Amino acid sequence: MTESTPQNQNLSRRDFLKVAWMFLGGVAALETAGVFISYLQPRLAEGEFGSIIIPGKVDDFPLNSVTHIPNGRFYIVRTDDGGFLAVYHRCTHLGCSVPWDQTAQKFICPCHNSQFNRQGVVENPPAPRPLDLFALTIENGELKVDTGNLIQRQTYETAQVVYP
Amino acid sequence: MEEKTSLPEASIFERMRNRLTPEGVPSDDRGRMRMVMDSLILHIHPAKVEVTSLKWTYTWGLGGLAALLMMILGLTGMVLLNNYTPAAPQAYLDILKLNSNVWFGEFIRNLHHWSANLLIVVAVLHLIRVFVTGSYRPPRELNWLIGVAMLLLVLAANFTGYLLPWDQLAYWAITVGTSIVSYVPLIGQWIGRLVLGGTEVGANTLLNFYSMHISFIPLAIFGLMSYHFWRVRKDGGLTVPKSSKQTEDPSTISGQAPKPERVTTIPHLVHRELISAIGWTAVLLLFAMLVPAPLEGIADPALSPNPAKAPWYFMGLQELLLHFHPLVGAIILPSLAIIGIFMLPFFDLNPKSVGVYFRSQRGRSLTLLAIGIALIVTPVWVLLDEYVLNWTIWLPTWDTLISNGLIPLAVVLLPLVFLVDWIHKSFKADTEERVLFIASFLFTAFIVLTVIGIFFRGPGMSLYLPWNMPILTH
């Protein structure tokens, strides 16, 4: 009965306390890091970019149109069959604002000449993926765009279009 | 009647002073001034330094100039705080007021701006000096690491300071610069959001950058700087060529080496530092009086200028982004470069040529060869990649990471491998000379890319000749 297992022999009280202190110290360090990282998380305010923005009613946007909503940083793209896309105006390459070129019928980035079609799909690199979308819903004929809900995509799919 | 002591009663101020200097104070003004200065100076410097390390054309006084610039930046930065609000759009209005309503406001800002930009140049030159004289070799590896860390912090200080005026230049340079972070695999997007305080540069970003710029970064630089100075002493002062310490005389072997010639730090080193500091301060003051720091219109998140360029010291990086997939151009290549710079003292060990510019006569020739080749090859490659090579169109079904990233990377790096192999075989270049060759080649190429990015890129980031650059108005 007095025989202890080899593990018990190896782990003296001093060693156990040493390990325990190191473990607790590690936990404390992780907690501190967690506090700082949470503290530094982005802060959002109601009604500003990052919250839900109402760009207008369904009928405000003619078929086959692209309308810039500056305070929401997005375009409302209306397809020829009446669907809607909320396209973030930020280039997926290095973050420049992409203007809509009406004559070329394309989004053309001034910074590195990335080009996107009406649905935001890359027609000319260096942009690595289509323009991002914001979650869009339609309630009582009114568009609602959640600018805190960014949707990144690799391709264009018809499922991305929202119909009234 | 009580008899007075013959000692005159010391005033409270005299007694205080006597307590502060228990060894006693020299009786004359000159001696007292000297005492204070000397004890401060000898706290940083050793009492004696080697004559060869004092030679102007050996160090070019670059480390000292960097320290001087840090002092100027600290002073001007401190007073700039009194006229600045880190909020949008107030920050921009404050800069306008600083320029028009504050005595010497524009001058102080110019001095801060130009000193910060000069500091990058000086820190890089200092790094080059230490590299080409092999002064990072054992036992000085740690100080090399600290120096490189300080260079990264100086870049961070410059980058965070760049946003503070909140003009178009600042806004879009920081937008482009921070977008690079989002290409780090897995955690990039998350880090980007944390740094920006949102999905794009805004009021939160301004506050984040301001706080970094005035607290963490200067504190970290100050701590590392103190350690850097102390380590210079600890590692035996500046490097000097072996030949000045030892000769081929047989007496060296028997332990009777002729002592290197040493002189006292005061006045020989201190006078040189003082003269250099006064000269550079005069140059900086004059420059700040004559050349205003740039300031454009107020930041407009909806309107990207064409072209939108990163700060000048990141233009080499932005140029890489035009030629490579962002993961290769913005993450893999810069990380390899930084790791390579950190690792240098651990595979370039030979203590023989410490203190000798370019290692040897052959090293000097190979450096010139590397610079020459890079000066020719880099612009040719930029032109080829701009107008001829188009891997994404030639290989449309391939992932762009391969067609626009790994293939061009191989095209660029393989010739360098053959080049190094060639100098190894044809010139019998040893490790230290090959390291010198590769570093000279890559650094020259980077400088060429930076120059192309700053001066040859116009609207749409297309190539133009600098004197033919179209000017766009919005």
**Tell me: the pLDDT tens digits for B169-216?**
999 999 988 888 888 888 888 888 888 888 888 888 999 999 999 999
Residues of A with CB below 8 A from B176's CB?
94-96, 111
The answer to whether the CB atoms of B301 and A73 lie below 8 A apart is yes
ipTM at complex level: 0.75
- Looking at the structure, tell me whether residues A120 and A98 fall in a common domain: yes
Q: Which of B474, B166, B184 is nearest to B175 (CA)?
A: B166
Q: How confident is the model at residue B6 (pLDDT cuts 50, 70, 90)?
A: low
Instruction: Tell me the three state secondary structure of residue A53.
Output: strand
What pLDDT, in 10s, does the model give residues A85-106?
A: 999 988 888 888 888 988 888 9
- Looking at the structure, tell me whether residues A73 and A19 fall in a common domain: no
CB-CB contact of B293 with B114 (8 Å): yes
**H or E element that contains B410:** helix B407-427
Q: Cis link prior to A128 (omega < 30° from 0)?
A: no
- Looking at the structure, tell me whether residues A67 and A32 fall in a common domain: no
DSSP 8-state class, residue B138:
T
The answer to whether the CB atoms of A40 and B308 lie below 8 A apart is no
The predicted structure's pLDDT at residue B474: 44
CB-CB contact of A114 with A127 (8 Å): yes
Q: Could you give phi then psi for residue B18, rounded to 5 degrees?
A: -65, -35
Strands A142-151 and A52-57 turn out to be antiparallel
The answer to whether the CB atoms of B322 and A42 lie below 8 A apart is no
What pLDDT, in 10s, does the model give residues B333-350?
A: 999 999 999 998 888 777
User: Could you tell me how many residues make up chain B?
Assistant: 474
Q: Could you give phi then psi for residue A2, rounded to 5 degrees?
A: -75, -25
Instruction: Tell me how far apart the terminal alpha carbons of chain A are, to the nearest angstrom.
Output: 79
The answer to whether the CB atoms of A94 and B321 lie below 8 A apart is yes
Query: Taking the CA atoms of chain A, what radius of gyration do you get in angstroms?
Result: 26
Residues linked to residue A134 through DSSP beta bridges, in sequence order: A150
The CATH number of the domain covering residues in B49-241+261-302? 1.20.810.10
Instruction: Tell me how far apart the terminal alpha carbons of chain B are, to the nearest angstrom.
Output: 96
Residue of B191, B199, B314 for testing the chain A interface, max A β-carbons within 10 Å: B199
- Looking at the structure, tell me whether residues A83 and A148 fall in a common domain: yes
Q: In Å, what is the CA distance from B181 to each residue of A39, B244, B376, B453?
A: 21, 48, 31, 19
Specify the pTM: 0.84
The answer to whether the CB atoms of A97 and B196 lie below 8 A apart is no
CB-CB contact of B308 with B172 (8 Å): yes
- Looking at the structure, tell me whether residues A74 and A23 fall in a common domain: no
Comparing alpha-carbon positions, the chain B residue that sits nearest to A70 is B302
Encoded tokens for B77: 């930065």
CB-CB contact of A85 with A61 (8 Å): no
Candidate from A42, A96, A128 with C-beta closest to B197: A42
The mean pLDDT of A76-81, rounded to a whole number, is 88
Q: Which of A94, A113, A114, A134 is nearest to B200 (CA)?
A: A94
Q: In this structure, which amino acid lies at residue A111?
A: C
Q: Could you give phi then psi for residue B219, rounded to 5 degrees?
A: -60, -45
CB-CB contact of B416 with B347 (8 Å): no
Candidate from B175, B204, B461 with C-beta closest to A95: B175
In-domain check, residue A1: no
The predicted structure's pLDDT at residue B253: 47
Nearby residues of B456 by Cβ (< 8 Å), 6 or more positions away: B463, B464, B465, B466
Pairwise CA distance, residues B452 & B470, whole Å: 16
Residues of A with CB below 8 A from B197's CB?
40, 42-43
Put simply, whether B255 touches A (Cβ < 8 Å) is no
Q: Which of B407, B384, B382, B381 is nearest to B394 (CA)?
A: B407
The predicted structure's pLDDT at residue B146: 96
Comparing alpha-carbon positions, the chain B residue that sits nearest to A75 is B302
CB-CB contact of B163 with B170 (8 Å): yes
In-domain check, residue A13: yes
pLDDT tops 80 at residue B327: yes
Highest-pLDDT range among A93-107, A120-134, B138-152, B410-424: B138-152
- Looking at the structure, tell me whether residues A75 and A151 fall in a common domain: yes
Task: Give the gap in angstroms from C-alpha A77 to the nearest C-alpha of chain B.
Answer: 17
User: Could you tell me how many residues make up chain A?
Assistant: 164
Candidate from B200, B204, B208 with C-beta closest to A95: B200
Put simply, whether A151 touches B (Cβ < 8 Å) is no
For B403, counting Cβ atoms within 10 Å of its Cβ (0-12 exposed, 13-18 middle, 19+ buried), the class is: buried
B256 versus A77: which is more confidently predicted? A77
What pLDDT, in 10s, does the model give residues B379-424?
A: 999 998 888 877 767 777 777 777 777 888 888 888 889 998 888 8
The predicted structure's pLDDT at residue B7: 58
Give residue limits of the domains in chain B: 49-241+261-302, 306-474
Per the listing, tokens 């036992």 go with B139
B218 versus B349: which is more confidently predicted? B218
Strands A142-151 and B48-50 turn out to be unpaired
Among B318-327, B384-393, B453-462, which stretch is predicted with the lowest mean pLDDT? B384-393
Pairwise CA distance, residues B368 & B362, whole Å: 10
The predicted structure's pLDDT at residue A47: 56
Task: Give the gap in angstroms from C-alpha B157 to the nearest C-alpha of chain A.
Answer: 19
| Number of domains comprising chain A | 2
Put simply, whether B402 touches A (Cβ < 8 Å) is no
CB-CB contact of A110 with B304 (8 Å): yes
Q: Is the dihedral of CA B42, B46, B47, B49 positive or negative?
A: negative
In-domain check, residue A75: yes
- Looking at the structure, tell me whether residues A35 and A57 fall in a common domain: no
pLDDT tops 90 at residue A57: no
B165 versus A73: which is more confidently predicted? B165
The predicted structure's pLDDT at residue B386: 83
What pLDDT, in 10s, does the model give residues B31-59?
A: 877 777 777 788 788 888 888 888 888 88
The predicted structure's pLDDT at residue B246: 46
Q: Which of B195, B194, B6, B174 is nearest to B91 (CA)?
A: B174
Q: How confident is the model at residue B472 (pLDDT cuts 50, 70, 90)?
A: low
Q: What is the CATH number of the domain that holds A135?
A: 2.102.10.10
Encoded tokens for B70: 């840090």
- Looking at the structure, tell me whether residues A32 and A109 fall in a common domain: no
The answer to whether the CB atoms of B460 and A73 lie below 8 A apart is no
Residues of A with CB below 8 A from B180's CB?
94
CB-CB contact of B348 with B359 (8 Å): no
Q: Which of B414, B415, B389, B413 is nearest to B403 (CA)?
A: B389
Pairwise CA distance, residues B77 & B79, whole Å: 6
Encoded tokens for A88: 């973030």
The predicted structure's pLDDT at residue B346: 87
Count Cα atoms within 13 angstroms, Cβ side, for B334.
19
The predicted structure's pLDDT at residue B251: 45
CB-CB contact of B94 with B45 (8 Å): no
Chains A–B, number of C-beta pairs less than 8 Å apart: 84
Residues of A with CB below 8 A from B198's CB?
42, 44, 49-50
Domain housing A122: 52-160
Q: How confident is the model at residue B25 (pLDDT cuts 50, 70, 90)?
A: confident
DSSP 8-state class, residue A131:
P
CB-CB contact of B395 with B462 (8 Å): no
